[in-house]
Structure 1
């Protein structure tokens, strides 16, 4: 009987699918190992409901960029959050110029409506 040819464990073989696609050799990692991997990567699994149309758009965009749609969604959310933080901090900095000082500490008061108006503008 001939033994099947062993496929080398190279990055190229993982990328082209020679390795890792045979369901006969799939095992789910223990939950503790999954948790350790998530912790090491700074990741947390969440559950979210999204419009099917939005997911399809992300899949199309991801395909063009040669990546998965979930990493693309993570990147989009990260970019949004970073941009939003910059907008809020700029608004706070601008408001602080108009605020007074209290015992050497600067007090900043910003109305939510002011931030929303600046965001829309």
Structure 2
């Protein structure tokens, strides 16, 4: 069996639950390993209190879609943050356009400087 075939076989066994779903495969990671995993994944463990009915609803929604609820919540928060940043960007763009339009309706800087020089006798 080639390394690729062996890796595919091991991956398949993890996917179908042959590996990793028994008490024999459960162990608490050492703190340094856990911290390294978080660093590698650019993740940080947070604790948040949510109403029990909300958690139950999120678990039901995730179950309906065949996914775990914590990754679903992470995905929801990522989508929300991305959407909010897009909205903020659009708002700032709109403000910039309004400011530029206001600037265009006033005399250009060069004309202002020229008028100032003439008024000063220069």
TM-score exceeds 0.5: yes
Calculate the aligned-residue CA RMSD, in Å.
1.8
Give structure 1 regions of 4+ aligned residues with deviation exceeding 6 angstroms: none
Aligned: 1:51 with 2:62: no
SS of the aligned residue for 1:49 comes to coil
Question: How many aligned positions are there?
Answer: 93
Instruction: Report the Cα distance in structure 1 between the residues aligned to 2:56 and 2:11, rounded to whole angstroms.
Output: 29
How much has 1:98 moved relative to structure 2? 2.2
How much has 1:16 moved relative to structure 2? 2.9
Aligned: 1:70 with 2:66: no
Aligned: 1:91 with 2:98: no
Instruction: Report the Cα distance in structure 1 between the residues aligned to 2:58 and 2:12, rounded to whole angstroms.
Output: 26
Q: Which has the larger radius of gyration?
A: 2
Unaligned runs of 5+ in 2: 1-8, 104-122
Counterpart position of 1:106: none
Instruction: Report the Cα distance in structure 1 between the residues aligned to 2:17 and 2:39, rounded to whole angstroms.
Output: 27
Instruction: Report the Cα distance in structure 1 between the residues aligned to 2:12 and 2:34, rounded to whole angstroms.
Output: 25
How high is the TM-score relative to the length of structure 1? 0.68
Counterpart position of 1:27: 27
Counterpart position of 1:14: 14
How high is the TM-score relative to the length of structure 2? 0.68
Sort the Cα spacing of 1:90 and 1:28 in 2 relative to 1 into closer, same or farther, 3 A.
same
Q: Which structure ranks higher in relative contact order (CA pairs < 8 Å, sequence separation ≥ 6)? A: 1
Unaligned runs of 5+ in 1: 1-8, 102-121
